[in-house]
Amino acid sequence: MERTPSDFRSDTVTKPTAKMLEAMASARVGDDVLGDDPTVRKLETRMASLFGKQAALFMPSGTMANQCAAAAHIVPGEEVIVDEDSHIFQFEGGGLSRISGAHVRTLPTENGQYSFGQLSRAIRPVNEHMPRTGLICVEESHLFSGGTIVPIDYLEEVYGMAQHHGIPVHMDGARLFNAQAETGVDFEKYGQTCDSVFIALSKGLSCPVGSILMGDGSFIERARHVRKWMGGGMRQAGYLAACGLVALEETAPLLSEDNSRCRRLGGVTLALDGVRLAQATIDTNILFLEVTHSGLDAPMVEAALADEGVLALALGDRLLRFVTHRHITDHCVDRAAAALQKVLSN
């Protein structure tokens, strides 16, 4: 068996490229908390311009970016409308209530899309007995439906409805670059469908640390204050931000290859007994499989695959996740397919 495993657990396992390490070593840095790190400023300016926003803020993590955004948009006690399967609600430690003091209202979605009827009814009328609706959150791509791409026209309609009611929209765009690699929609057009958006640098873009939150100037100043009391201010952060500048030129153009490999792996699994696709489409770099084998569950398959040098992630009893990224080659896909066939046939 090959000694180095093929790691499909997440695109967060990606390591910086040689060019990123070179950029880190040569980066001009200052003190970002004092506002004078030139490399951080350059990355923030570049990303804000890309999305047509006034300003941007470098963050240690995507979770902090989401939580800073919510806290900067609302006052405690206001209601945040979220998808019941969204990352900001399911996988961020209850931060909306603890950090923002938000009253959270969850709605079901289909592949990350709210029913407009449900969304309209969820927006509170002005009434002293009810919390004010302070924020609507969307996600692109939509993680829990398998990296599904939420259509741009849908995002535009949500934003139009929100504007009509005077409610801001925040977009969790952790893997937006993977979605854009397929849609070809300008980043600025995505930026026009929300008041704030963040993208993760540490997933498919392969940076070691970091996310970027974008919005108008006053919003970013409020978010900067929240980042401070959350302990997110970093000093010579330019060593990390330098990787983000490299990523825009080096790794971002490769994301369509990650998406294609994910579709290839999904296609192979269609011929296997004991698993089935747990998502409607394979749009980007995330694949969920449901383990249907009568004698195996997802944790058992995860452990057996690891013995074959293939790392996947069990999410509960029946769900198994694979995520492709720049370290996953065609050979890795073949290896995973062969390992799955072997495990399921035993």
Residue range 101-116: mean pLDDT, rounded: 97
Amino acid at 258: D
Q: What's the pLDDT at 4?
A: 93
pTM for the full predicted model: 0.97
DSSP bridge partners of 197: 171, 214
> With 80 as the cut, is the pLDDT of residue 303 above it?
yes
Q: Is 321 helix (H, G, I), strand (E, B) or coil?
A: strand
Q: Which stretches within the chain are classed as H helix? A: 18-26, 38-50, 62-73, 87-90, 95-98, 116-122, 152-164, 176-183, 187-191, 217-229, 238-250, 255-269, 298-307, 330-345
What one-letter code names the amino acid at 251?
T
Asked whether the predicted pLDDT for residue 2 surpasses 80, the reply is: no
Percent of the chain with pLDDT strictly greater than 70: 100
Is the pLDDT at 244 greater than 90, yes or no?
yes
- Tell me if residue 289 falls in helix, strand or coil: strand
By percentage, how much of the chain surpasses pLDDT 90? 99
Mean pLDDT within 290-314: 97
Q: What is the pLDDT of residue 3?
A: 81
* Alpha carbon of residue 119 to chain centroid: 22
Structural domain spans, the chain: 6-13+254-345, 18-250
- Is the separation of the CB atoms in 171 and 196 below 8 Å? yes
For the stretch 142-175, pLDDT in tens is 999 999 999 999 999 999 999 999 999 999 999 9
Averaged pLDDT, 202-210: 98
What is the pLDDT at residue 33? Answer: 94
Q: CA torsion angle for 286, 149, 161, 68 (degrees, to 10)?
A: 40
Query: Was domain 6-13+254-345 assigned CATH 3.90.1150.10?
Result: yes
pLDDT score for 346:
77
Could you tell me if 316 and 300 are in contact, meaning their C-beta atoms sit under 8 angstroms apart?
A: no
Residue 57 has pLDDT above 70, yes or no: yes
Over 90: is that where the pLDDT of 213 sits?
A: yes
Average confidence (pLDDT) over 118-134: 96
Q: Is the pLDDT of residue 67 over 70?
A: yes
What's the pLDDT at 1? 59
Q: Which residue has the tokens 């592949």?
A: 111
CATH class of 18-250: alpha beta
- φ and ψ at 310, to 5 degrees? -125, 120
Contact status, residue 262 vs residue 141, Cβ threshold 8 Å: no
* Digit-coded pLDDT (tens) for 9-29: 999 999 999 999 999 999 999
Mean pLDDT of the chain: 97
